[in-house]
Amino acid sequence: MAQEVLMPKLGLTMTEGTITAWLKPEGSYVTKGEPLFEVATDKITNKVEAPGDGIIKVVVAEGSTVPVSAVVGYLLAEGEELPTVAKKSVEDIASKPEEAPTVKEAPKSEPPPETERVRATPAAKRRARESGIDLAKVPGSGPGGRITESDVENYLAQQKAVPPAADKEQVEFTSADKLPVKATPTAAKLAQELGIDLAELAQERRLTKRDVLVAALLAEEGDEERVPLAGMRRVIARRMSDSWSIAPHVTINMEVDMDQARVIRQEFNADCPSDEKISYNDLIVKAAAQALTEYPALNGSITKDEIIYHHFVHVGVAVALDDGLIVPVVRHADKKSLREVAQEVKDLAQRARSGNLSPDEVTGSTFTITNLGMYGVDSFTPIINQPESAILGVGVIKERPVVVDGTVVVRPMMTLSLSFDHRLVDGSVAAEFLRRVRELLENPYGIRPELA
């Protein structure tokens, strides 16, 4: 019996999901638990496993968005056909996607293919009819080789071109497998300078400077790649734009002497297995979490009509992925030991990179930390993760000469960059908070609860 494949509910707040990729082609056999398709929500992208064994029949195409519990496919036994009701549903969606109430088609980056032999824009077709030229002879520069009106104009210009008096002479040579090439001296010289193969442009008439310039322009356009703004990158683009327009960002920087942090990290990691070692980032998470309990404005949110002060500290830790960024959340970070924080950050980061986080694990942060130190960045301006009021950027730790008690010494120095929403947080409060984080990192034995 055909088994329905449904859009799963991956978190408490999830109402719909977008199928970004089918991991198994239609008609292939899958087994229960095998990754079947990828789903993107407004938070994360996750792999969904097959609910059973069978041959996959795809109902909802890649790029489409459907509500939770909507049927996206079926699993069939060998030789089994879809039930009549299911088959009718599939046919309706395939033939009338605009009438299928549960499917919202994702925006397309290109217009649908035309049925004509030659793909061209309406303006290009009109211009070709007016000029009496065969569109099949016009090279297209649009997406997928589509002919544009400018392509037609360039073709007409080539046909009508009359070489100047200085170019009355011509250079003629032949290619082993192409037409004889005739070109003006100017065209031949320009082609050599631009690296254009005149044999590729060979025509019955001689080639002019304009022909070479058009070929160079088309070659440059061919070096571009255009892809739809979709999936995680689309979500990131929207959120960053919204945050920058909503919150008046101010960023302040402060240097931190990480000498004592280095000492305590070495003590912690001396006899630990590699998977239990703590990082500098773990220390920063703990220091920031404690400071947030002392400066509630940095742990709050602001709406149009009210300020929300959270009585819990949930720290989001940004994790870089191949195709974007995700922010899993360490809940109640202020109440956990340094070792507990380290283990949780490591686990969340690993599952984020393998696509195994649930939406609930990337929801509800009250403050975010983003670290670019591993890339050698000294300082930067992070963008606030809405609806939070601040975000802490972490730079690289470098050995630098500093003055300590009147003596120049070399210390591991790091710059912290705090971006805050000036509607809720005043500059003096932000500075005090950042100074408190520095104080805790420079004297890490004062971090609560017990570090171990």
Catalytic residue annotation: 422
DSSP secondary structure of 187-254? HHHHHHHHT--GGGG--SSPB-HHHHHHHHHHHHHTT-------HHHHHHHHHHHHHHHHS-EEEEEE
* Whether the Cβ atoms of residue 409 and residue 428 lie closer than 8 Å to each other: no
* Whether the Cβ atoms of residue 355 and residue 335 lie closer than 8 Å to each other: no
Whose CA is closest to 325, among 417, 423, 240?
240
Between CA 138 and CA 119 the distance in angstroms is 11
DSSP secondary structure of 259-285? HHHHHHHHHHHTT--GGG---HHHHHH
* Whether the Cβ atoms of residue 293 and residue 333 lie closer than 8 Å to each other: no
Phi, psi of 206 (to 5 degrees): -80, 150
Residues making up the chain, counted from first to last: 452
**Residue 281 token pair:** 């980032």
Helix (H), strand (E) at residue 183: strand 181-183
